[in-house]
Amino acid sequence: MPAALHLRRALALVAAALVAATMFLVSTGTPAEAAKNTRHERILRAAKIAKRQLGDPYQWGATGPHRFDCSGLTQFAYKRAGVGLPRTSDAQANRTRRIPRKAMKRGDLMFFHSGGDVYHVGMFVGWRNGRRLMVHASRPGTPVKRDAPWTNSWYAGTMRGSR
């Protein structure tokens, strides 16, 4: 067998091994686990997208790209990141999986409620001085901003692993 043929076969084997190794490193073992990672990365991307809207004006019923209400902002950020989210804060609360506050990660949602009814949503983006921070579109005359919760009447919801 000519040396060139041996070399081509050896290179093909090396290339196949590199592809297999890359696929192993990229995945976490199973397709389901890999999909979870991809979804988590999309949710992190949604948090970055929401932060890019800081300073955009509030407008009731607006879903972007340059004006938002609270649920319009979260829906816009998730949609741009490739994750579907319903339009209203109440529908978003029903779509997410409720989680303990201590389990929150960037991109999770904070649902504000009164008497059981959800009236506002913000997106968790991290911590400052020991306080949770969210990005949200709060009210007319106030642009999209980064803020700490003003009340303790809220709960956390996630799209990580949710329905």
Catalytic residue among 40, 66, 113, 120: 120
Instruction: For residue 120, indicate whether it is catalytic.
Output: yes
Instruction: For residue 136, indicate whether it is catalytic.
Output: yes
Catalytic residue among 6, 40, 66, 70: 70
Catalytic residue among 6, 66, 113, 136: 136
DSSP string covering the chain: --HHHHHHHHHHHHHHHHHHHHHHHHS-SSHHHHHHHHHHHHHHHHHHHHHHTTTPPB-TT-BSSS-B-HHHHHHHHHHHTT----SSHHHHHHHSEEE-GGG--TT-EEEEEETTEEEEEEEEEEEETTEEEEEE--BTTB-SEEE--SSS-EEEEE-TT--
Instruction: For residue 6, indicate whether it is catalytic.
Output: no
Catalytic residues: 70, 120, 136
